[in-house]
Amino acid sequence: MARTYQPKDDSGEKQPSESKKVQLRVEDAFADLTEAMTEVFNLAAIKDATNCNAKADVVVDGETIVQNVPATHLLWVEKKLASIADAVSKAPVLSQDVVWARDEGQGVYRSEAVETVKTKKIEEHKVVIQPTKEHPGQFVKVTEDVAIGTWKTIHLSGAITEDRKKQLLARVEKFQQAVKVAREEANQSPVVELSTAVIVKRIFAP
């Protein structure tokens, strides 16, 4: 902005001129943006292009389980394996103080049958003193637990054995190590040069 004051006549009051410089030119800002985004675009392009070639095999005990898995997917698999390990670690196991047998028909474990006696309280009157011609007899009320039957109990469980749990956790750990090794191998892939910053330059070209 620039302005000057002109009095109506020579005898009028004079005022100093006023001015204010332009603080920023939009085209200059766009030039700065182009420079900054050039680096951002190129770094992202190199990273993604390199990741396209960053692949490795998942090998467990000398056996190739999966071939040419991208590094980004290997990272995702690592996180999921951690979730699986957590789930297995929380799985309930069969009680160690019970003898269990596999019931294949129901797909559960069955305990040995345990028998317990069912009793009932029975009240009886017992003679304490036998009656005679001169004196009546004396009786007392007695309560006894009398066996009236037998309970036969069999427990069923959908839990797993401690050995099965250890087996699963060992497998998960083995695959976690294999995936980690594969990811580290994939990340050693050579850098692929790629520039996409030309897009930004074309947009802000004069």
pLDDT digit string (tens) for 71-115? 999 999 999 999 999 999 999 999 999 999 999 999 999 999 999
- CA nearest 177: which of 70, 68, 65? 65
Both 144 and 50 in a single domain? no
Distance, in Å, from the CA atom of 17 to the CA atom of 2, rounded to the nearest integer, reads 8
Whether 127 and 169 map to the same domain: the answer is no
Report which secondary-structure segment, H or E, holds 176: helix 162-186
Model's pTM, two decimal places? 0.67
- Each residue's pLDDT tens digit, 32-65: 999 999 999 999 999 999 988 999 999 999 999 9
- pLDDT at position 130: 80
- Of 20, 41, 38, the closest CA to residue 30 belongs to 38
3 within some domain:
no
Distance in angstroms (rounded) separating the CA atoms of residues 3 and 20: 9
pLDDT (0 to 100) of residue 10: 82
Q: What is the pLDDT, as a whole number, of residue 103?
A: 94
Termini Cα distance of the chain: 26
**Tokens found for residue 116:** 């317990």
Q: Are residues 59 and 29 in the same domain?
A: yes
Q: Tell whether 38 and 76 lie within a shared domain.
A: yes
- Regarding whether 149 and 169 lie in a shared domain, the answer is no
| Pair (141, 117) in one structural domain | yes
Cα separation, 3 vs 9, whole angstroms: 18
pLDDT classification of 127: cutoffs 50, 70, 90: confident
